Every structure is written in C-alpha cells, then in structure tokens.
Amino acid sequence: MRVEPGEEILILYKAARLGHSDIVRYILDCGCPVDTLLTSSSSSALTLASEWGHLEVAKVLIDRGAKVDHVDGLGYTPLMYTASFGHLEIAKLFLRHSADVNLKTPPPASTTALMMASSAHRPNNSMINLLLEWGADERAQDGNGQTAAAMFNSKLEHTLISSQTNTSTQ
C-alpha cells in the first residue's frame, strides 16, 4: 500500500474507527505520530478505538505509546467512552496502563468514567464493578451534585417506568 503525504492521519483514523489493527500498525510504521489529533474534535485514534470497541487496535496504539488519558474536545478520555459503551476488556487494558479512573470532564458537567458507566443507555454492572475495584470514587459528584449511584438509580427508575408503560399498553 502506498500512502501519499498527508493521507496517513485520515487513514489512521478510519482504520482505528473500523477496527483494522493491521492498517493502524502499518500507518504507524510509516511514521504517523500515534497521538495525532483529528482537528475537528481533538480526538485521538485511541479515542475512536475505545468508542467503537476495538480492543486489538487499542492494544497496538498503546504499545506504540498512545496516551490513555488523552482528553478530547468534549473533555472525555478513552476510558470514559469505553465505560459509557460497556467495552469491558478495553477498560481493563486502559486501567492496566494507568488510566486515571477519577478524571473528570471540565465543568459544568464534571463527569467521571464511573458516572458515564452508571448513566449509560444500558448500565453495565461488570463495568461499574471494575471501575470501583480500580479505585473509582463513588462519592464524586458531577456539576449537578449527583453521584454515580444517583445516576444509576435514576436510569433504573426510568427503565422500570418505561417497561411498565410498554406492558400496560399491550
């Protein structure tokens, strides 16, 4: 494969998002910096791999020196995306490589990975337990004063109400 100058960054991002670890490795071998940022979102290739659940890509990027605590333009780290989407094995990888489990997004949200896991579309108990095992602060509060437990309970209550509404309309 021949890569034209300037194309390597776009190829790296597409390969990371789509889970092509062999292409990611090749592009990095061609000299593309591992923590090159996508200018529109300040996302790194590791951010995309974590968001889309590509463990092998995440391994390649970390082995090549990607920053596990990179903060993107929204204030999220790869661990936060992983926690939100429930990619447990990737979260374990990040934590083994010293990801800060208690980093917060900037105010006013001030959200942690534990809060994101607890308020995800489908909260993942294994993810929540993993983050707690690695020292996530269960007492931390977001910008509205809510803890991860309060977010989880709110999500559970909303799910139960929705479930009861769906059952009663059938």
Report the CATH number that the domain containing residue 110 is assigned in CATH. 1.25.40.20
**How far is 136 from 128, CA to CA, in rounded Å?**
9
pLDDT score of 76 more than 90: yes
pLDDT band at 37 (very low <50, low <70, confident <90, very high): confident
Domain boundary among 67, 91, 121: 67
Shared domain for 153 and 84, answered yes or no, is yes
Domain range for residue 108? 72-157
CB 86, CB 80: distance < 8 Å? no
pLDDT score of 70 more than 80: yes
Shared domain for 57 and 105, answered yes or no, is no
- The number of distinct structural domains making up the chain is 2
pLDDT score of 120 more than 90: no
* Structure confidence by residue, pLDDT tens digits, 56-65: 999 999 999 9
pLDDT band at 156 (very low <50, low <70, confident <90, very high): low
CA 102 to chain centre: 13
Domain boundary among 15, 36, 67: 67
- Residue scoring higher pLDDT (20 or 157): 20
Least confident of 91-95, 111-115, 122-126: 122-126
Which positions ≥6 away from 14 have C-beta within 8 Å? none
Domain boundary among 52, 67, 82: 67
Shared domain for 92 and 118, answered yes or no, is yes
Q: At what angle do helices 45-52 and 55-63 cross, to 10 degrees?
A: 160
CB 113, CB 79: distance < 8 Å? yes
pLDDT score of 164 more than 70: no
